[in-house]
Structure 1
Amino acid sequence: MKIIETPTMGATPARDAAWTFYRETFAEINTLAAQRHLMRHDEFTEVMTDGRITKYVLSEENDALLGLGTSTNDLSAWPLISPAYFERMYPEQYAAGKLWYIGFIGVRDGVRGGFAAMLEAMSAPQRRVAGVALMDYCAFNFGERDVHSISLRLLERYSAPRPRIVDTQTFVAYDFGER
């Protein structure tokens, strides 16, 4: 396995393969979370071609796509997060460009060590400068799949990050149906 770090995902067919991989990888979680976890094709294309967002591509030696992830320390580049919120929470790191938002990490099922390799590569910039990596998890990934704890155990191999829950969102349904 190898990981390539690139500012832009090239034109088709590489980007088409990445879109297919992304759509297949995140289709299930999109049905398990209230907030949409699957970008539209136009949003995905914008992210893949935005040079402010680093793309991490995990592949086999024959270039078969095994994993894909995104990260940026230009928080204005990622849709639907509030740079002002994170600037308030981490003013020094924000001013120094030491805050990274991890947009997503996806690894094909059955790729042994793939998620760990992606997490290692994607956390290297933050570890190098004593920065902060920001990730969001839906309740299913946080509670059922325990992705947060798994990520923390993997990251502790390289350093001792201090996790901090900085925000949560609760979706409430008011059902006015029959009682």
Structure 2
Amino acid sequence: TETLTNRDNHNYDDVMDFYLMDNGPNVTGYVNKGFDVHLDDFYNNLTADKKSSFFLTALHESQHTMGLQHPFESGFDEWVHNSKIDSTGSSIMSYNERDFNGNNDLRIYDLAVLHYRYGVNPNARSGDDTYGFKNFEQNNADGGVYIWDGAGVDTFDASNEKDGNGVYVNLTAGSRIYRGGNTIPNWTNKHLGLQEINGS
């Protein structure tokens, strides 16, 4: 049994259980409070290639047990029509699969929420790493632009940014790092689904 502790010091000692059962028509999966994930038993009848998409359902439902919600639900009102946010390319919690097909992992907003709630694994990226500005990488779970690091003496190198528009680098956890212009991008914790966690 793995014990998870979120930033509010609430322990989750439960085991996440997965059940295959007849969920009824049009219900691929759902969760109960706690760590029970119910998946439809039609999985047994799927071809191998279809089973990989079923994995996404299992991943999606397991993230509900970790406190994540759909980006089109309350708290995301002003971004409901923003396809860059409400898409499976940004979050496994989205129902919009029109982009980023073939990604079978957590995405940038999923990682941000989980890191905020539970912290970064101290063994992940624990060396002395160097980070810099990159363009968004569609096939990378964190887009190549979300910096998360478990340990080490790390460096942020902005020496390649010579276009004259400047950079903003703040290495405080959860802060924004961006290049160009002098206006901070309009992203808040609310846009990451954190309004229920910290009251913002």
TM-score norm. by structure 2 comes to: 0.30
Which structure dedicates a bigger proportion of its chain to strand? Answer: 1
Please tell me whether Structure 1 or Structure 2 has the larger radius of gyration of its CA atoms: 2
Higher RCO (CA < 8 A, seq sep 6+): 1
Q: Which has the higher helix share?
A: 1
